[in-house]
Amino acid sequence: MYEIDDEEFWKIYETKSYLDIFYIRNKVWRSLIPARPPIGSRNEMMQKENHFPNNKNMLYFNIPFCASRCSFCLYYTKIYERELVDRYLDALEKEVEAISNTKYVKSTRFECVYFGGGTPSLLNEKQIDRVANIVFKNFQVTDELEISFEANPSSLSLDKVMALKRNNFNRISLGIQSFNDKYLKQMNCRHNSKEAKEVINMLLEKGFNVNIDLIYGFQGQTEEELQMDLEEILNFKNLHHISIFPLRLVTQTPLYNKLEKQQELNIQAHQNKIVKYHECIDSFFKNNSYISEEESVHYYKRGFHPHRYQSLDGRIIGFGSGAGTLLDNVESGNKFDVNDYIEAINSKNSAAFADSVITDEQMYERYILYRLLYMNRSLPDLKGIIEKRFSEFYGIDIGDRYEKVIGHLLAKKLIVLDGQRVIFTDKFLNILKNFRFGTPSVI
């Protein structure tokens, strides 16, 4: 285990590149930067106007409650209790109201709102009304607002669907995971394939933009079983968005702990399998009029548009327990434990677990690093795409920053190059088993 105390970390944080921060933070399983009082970086930034008021501004609301815990899940969750959820929403509303009249929020138009979790579809109709009101009462949104709601087939009733409809939710991200009941049971999911298909059809009939989440690389899954999962997609008319994630072996998850205990944990063998399966997936979608996005887990139907809320780039303000805020010079994350979060909000203390400012250069490096993490790194013009997106996001030329980030990763032996193609080493893959912000690309 790599040992480092917070004082040493902060010396690195204040003087080194973002790559050093990322490396140390994930080497020792720190999903967020350790807090150093006073905690107030996000609130300080809120007192200033947004320099990019109309460019990739997003809101994230975390609803961390679940009916049960899926074995692969790497996020903090809490078993649903009606009274606790109501108290949680009270705190969520107070957190929003505390910054709703700041210069930053008032100067910003938000183009995406995302309710994730956890399982937001455990909320009842009145609670859905309430969270929608929190958004529309406190924030300016664009005319083309995409407002997404994560759901599980086992907890999304017709009454809840109608509540979402009347509250102007227009996109549902449905956690199907698989149409194979064997693997749903293996992963401790609450629904079965029949329920999943019924809910997809219900949402499509009601006019929602439906994204379905699938997972591949289950223990024991064959290529034939993967192909059967993919072919189920073709049975749904007007299904425009698919997100298909590799099963990640992440520390501290029930699945990781089980495989480690049974001495069946082999991250490299698993990585080889999912790379092979991804080739089948990509071929399937290309042959059926779906287009691969720059973030390689996402596909969209030809003639439609890509996902708008992505891990690649976004100026995100997060609310709720465990929610992360990722703004230009600020990284902030709220306390994970629901009761700790509620107590902090009610006592008018900061709910932040970690809350820090980064320099402009660290910010630029973070952007390039995250692009390398999430993008299909085998794209023929990877460097050109990153340069173009960087310029669109910041309004300046990238200069030699791409080469500096690549050089730093090479020096730490985290990548190798095959021509211009960037390949992650086993060392980097081993570090990424601690990474909990999105799903790094497997290719």
Q: What residues contact 384, with CB distance under 8 A and at least 6 apart?
A: none
The yes-or-no verdict on residue 36 having pLDDT over 70 is no
Distance CA 35, CA 70 (A): 29
Distance CA 210, CA 259 (A): 33
CB 88 within 8 A of CB 143: no
The CA distances from residue 4 to 20, 201, 335, 431, in Å, are 13, 51, 22, 16
The yes-or-no verdict on residue 250 having pLDDT over 80 is no
pLDDT reported for residue 254: 67
**Which pTM was predicted?**
0.91
pLDDT reported for residue 57: 96
Residue 417 banded pLDDT, cuts 50, 70, 90: very high
| DSSP symbols for 70-105 | -TT--S--EE--HHHHHHHHHHHHHHHHHHTTSHHH
The pLDDT > 90 percentage for the chain reads 61
Q: Which candidate, 315, 423, 412, places its Cα nearest to that of 372?
A: 423
pLDDT reported for residue 161: 97
The yes-or-no verdict on residue 257 having pLDDT over 70 is no
CB 151 within 8 A of CB 120: yes
Sheet holding 209-216, edge to edge: 290-292, 298-301, 241-246, 209-216, 171-177, 140-151, 109-117, 57-63, 315-319, 324-326, 330-334, 352-357
236-239 long-range contacts, Cβ below 8 Å, gap at least 24? 236/200, 236/201, 236/204, 237/204, 238/204, 239/200, 239/204, 239/210, 239/212, 239/301
CB 211 within 8 A of CB 243: yes
pLDDT per position as a tens digit, 117-131: 889 999 999 999 999
- The single-letter DSSP state of residue 54 is T
The yes-or-no verdict on residue 33 having pLDDT over 70 is no
CB 41 within 8 A of CB 356: yes
Lowest mean pLDDT among 50-59, 207-216, 304-313: 304-313
Tell me the two tokens of residue 308.
């708008």
The yes-or-no verdict on residue 27 having pLDDT over 70 is no
Q: What residues contact 180, with CB distance under 8 A and at least 6 apart?
A: 193, 225, 228, 229
Average pLDDT over residues 360-384: 92
pLDDT per position as a tens digit, 323-363: 989 999 998 889 989 999 999 999 998 888 878 888 899 99
Residue 17 banded pLDDT, cuts 50, 70, 90: confident
Residue 434 banded pLDDT, cuts 50, 70, 90: confident
The pLDDT > 70 percentage for the chain reads 88
Distance CA 59, CA 209 (A): 19
Distance CA 41, CA 169 (A): 31
- Establish whether the linkage from the previous residue to 38 is cis, with ω within 30° of 0: yes
Three-state secondary structure call for residue 325: strand
- Neighbour-count burial of 83, counting CB atoms closer than 10 A to its CB (0-12 exposed, 13-18 middle, 19+ buried): exposed
Distance CA 99, CA 104 (A): 9
pLDDT reported for residue 1: 37
Average pLDDT over residues 155-164: 96
Q: Which of 216-225, 256-265, 433-442 has the highest mean pLDDT?
A: 216-225
